[in-house]
Amino acid sequence: MEVQAKLRILADAAKYDASCASSGSKRERPAGGVGNTTGIGICHSYTPDGRCVSLLKLLLTNYCIYDCTYCVNRISSDTPRARFTPQEVVSLTIEFYKRNYIEGLFLSSGIIQNVDYTMEQLIEVARTLREEHGFGGYIHLKVAPGASEELIAEAGKWADRLSANIELPQQADLDKLAPAKTHAEIEDTMTDIRTGILTAKDKTTRAGRRPQFAPAGQSTQMIVGATEAPDAAILTKASTLYKGYQLRRVYYSAFSPIPHADPRLPLQSAPLVRENRLYQADWLLRFYGFQVQELTTPESPNLPLDKDPKLAWALRHRAFFPVDVNQASQAALLRVPGLGVRNVQRILRIRRYHTLRLEDLRRLKVPVERAKFFVITADHHPAGLEWESRKVEKKVKPASEQLLLFDAAQSATNGEL
């Protein structure tokens, strides 16, 4: 099979993996080498549903010995198959880079022969790029859960980021849909990656440099909507992974029906707005001090689709508001809809020298038409608003369902949750 035909098959097969963001790495370009990961070295491009397409994103092969029912590349699938050699991936990466098509590589693979053999093939690509071509660009390698500690250590030596997918939020769902995989094995792999990262930080070479091991950290991905697991279960698992393995990101991928699917899988795609609401909730957990039990409840274990999770929390806790921007703590300000982390930090600095008015918030690019219902300023006191009516909710909700996806993506980008 020609390389061009392989590229069509294996680039398409890689589209289901969302965890391809390239931020967070810093790697020096070798003398005479090509590529870098700093400044303008990584160009980010996003599709309307938020997926990053900035890297050459490939599977080494879509052959796989596993039979995960939600995966189009499962062994029982009749999808067209292809396989690159490591040298073909190296050549594609270098040629695409020289043409300014890409600035890095995201490489995953189906499991061929066994886990360790697959990892050896992936590592060979990264090692060849670094050692033989002096490639200083970004490399993200998928780690096959269950790979040996030695191979994970080798992968971290050449890659900027490593990731092992947790797949589904509950072990019971894996037992039904992917019986060859377990959370225990996947998390053991995450432990090995975390250990490599921490060990590298603690070591210093004779030249006074720290050895690099996956300098951009590790990430993982969960499929949303393939099972009946609610958002509460998804966010609880994500929160546990962040705390236990120091992940940079958990990526959420809305399930899409695949040809000749198992009857236990849903026939409809998960709504993309649900994926975006999970990203917003994830942001609140990591940077805004929220807990999972605050964003979801036993009565409502799923995030509302018609409003972002921070606004939903605010409307459920009306007694908490309004918050005085000139006196409130940082934690309280972070709970105000429309105030992002950056603007809260600016408010805390400014109010030491100047009493804030509503116009000051406008100058800070705060979305005042949303925030004004929840804040007190020197010239604005909304205490008289009819909180028990639905007037506030109607005024701050998005205008139409069509705008929800882009409203969510823009809010996540600007930090204005």
Question: What does 121-184 look like in DSSP terms, one character per residue?
Answer: HHHHHHHHHHHHH-B-SEEEEEPPTT--HHHHHHHHHH-SEEE---BSS-HHHHHHH-TT--HH
pLDDT, position 234: 97
* pLDDT tens digit sequence for 218-240: 999 999 999 999 999 999 999 99
> Against a cut of 0.75, is the pTM above it?
yes
Distance CA 284, CA 22 (A): 21
Q: Which of 339, 398, 326, 327 is nearest to 372 (CA)?
A: 339
Contact between 93 and 40 under an 8 Å Cβ cutoff? The reply is no
Predicted pLDDT at 356: 96
pLDDT of residue 130: 95
Say what the pLDDT of residue 283 is. Answer: 96
Q: Which residues pair with 324 in a beta bridge?
A: 376
Q: Which CATH number fits domain 3-270: 3.10.105.10, 3.20.20.70, 3.30.460.20, 3.40.640.10?
A: 3.20.20.70
Query: What one-character DSSP code corresponds to residue 28?
Result: P
CA geometry: angle 204, 210, 211, nearest 5 deg: 110
Tell me the residue type at 186: I
Please name the residues in contact with 10: beta carbons below 8 A apart, sequence gap of 6 or more. Answer: 58, 59, 60, 61, 62, 82, 84
Which pLDDT value is given to residue 267?
A: 81
Res 401: pLDDT: 47
C-alpha span between 314 and 308 (Å, rounded)? 10
Q: How far apart are CA 320 and CA 152, in angstroms?
A: 48
- The ranges of the chain annotated as CATH 3.20.20.70 are 3-270
Q: What is the pLDDT of residue 27?
A: 52
Q: How far is CA 203 from the centre of its chain?
A: 29
Q: How far is Cα 65 from Cα 75, in angstroms, rounded to an integer? A: 6
Q: What share of the chain is helix, strand, coil (3-state, %, to 5)?
A: 40, 10, 45
What residue ranges of the chain have pLDDT lower than 70? 18-53, 204-210, 383-391, 395, 397-417
pLDDT of residue 202: 83
